[in-house]
Structure 1
Amino acid sequence: MKNTFRPLLALFLLLSVLTGLLYPLAVTALGQALYPAQAAGSLVLKDGKPVGSLLIGQNFSDPGHFWGRPSATGPQPNNALASSGSNQGPLNPALVDAVKGRVQALHDADPGNTASVPVDLVTASASGLDPHISVAAALYQVKRVAAARKLDAVKVEALVAQNTERPLLGLMGEPGVNVLRLNLALDAM
């Protein structure tokens, strides 16, 4: 029994050190060497202070900023520690009521906007943390943002176009707009 147990224990310790210590350290070092900004959380700095991450949605709610997707995290929005979907299906009355409330909030913030509301402005993403909205969702908000900031809507629309991220290699995904990046560009105008 002793002869069998000793090699098993040695193998367990070796694999524990390899997979639990050396491999994570190597991957972390490689990530920080090749992609330092991403490994550090893709933090965005303004005046030397972090204002957010390009990877996690921010909670913008004033009319002078573009709004992101609703967050499914609770009790505070865009809480990365509570990342998960709402697990509410399309026929769930709670989801239907939440979407109706979000549509009403968008109409209340911009009563003159009669365009149909893009779905990503009223539904949370799978993680509840999505930092991007569709181009249609950004364009839907242009008039409200321009009016609140007393800017020409054409200039704000051009800013949306400048901050639109194209699909990877022109093939993978849809064009989208990072809300934090767009709002920082808007603040810089």
Structure 2
Amino acid sequence: MKMHSKCEGNHPDLRASFRRREFLQVGALGTLGLTLPDLLRLEAAIAMPEVESFKPVAKSIIHIYLPGGMAHQESWDPKPFASPDYRGPYSPIKSAIPGEYVGEKFVNIAKILNKMTVIRSMTHGEAAHERGTHNMFTGYRPSPAIKFPSYGSIISHELGSRNNLPPYVVVPNMVAPEQGTGYMS
């Protein structure tokens, strides 16, 4: 049989590298629903070294959601060395943590900032605020097929209440549907 000019050359015989026993083993795994990627994932998981885990230290989480509220550079992420045109009308003030600043409207929060954690690195990659809000409350992009529960609902379900207090509260009321129980209700 004449081969195409681009296919000529010294190629390994693939039939010799795959023996009948190996073929039957892979075929048996396939009938059990275990595909090659699953098998490779399992082998990689077995080869992974054990990682030291840490006991969580947070007792509570207060998620402040202010739709239509102050901009980040005027509240939690002021730019103390930027020009007033960029940082907005409010000046940064020092907090209880050396080198950390908050907006001047947060005088009382600045005093106790050492007892809090401000997360400034969260992002969602969505262009629309509504889609980004959904992603930040649920961890998922919006889907017409599934109504995802919020983080608060999942934590409430898993950990339950503490000291007869409700584990998850939205004040004054639910602003976004992403704050609810989703498919858990």
TM > 0.5: no
- Normalising by structure 2, we get a TM-score of 0.23
Larger Rg, first or second structure (1 or 2) = 2
- Normalising by structure 1, we get a TM-score of 0.22
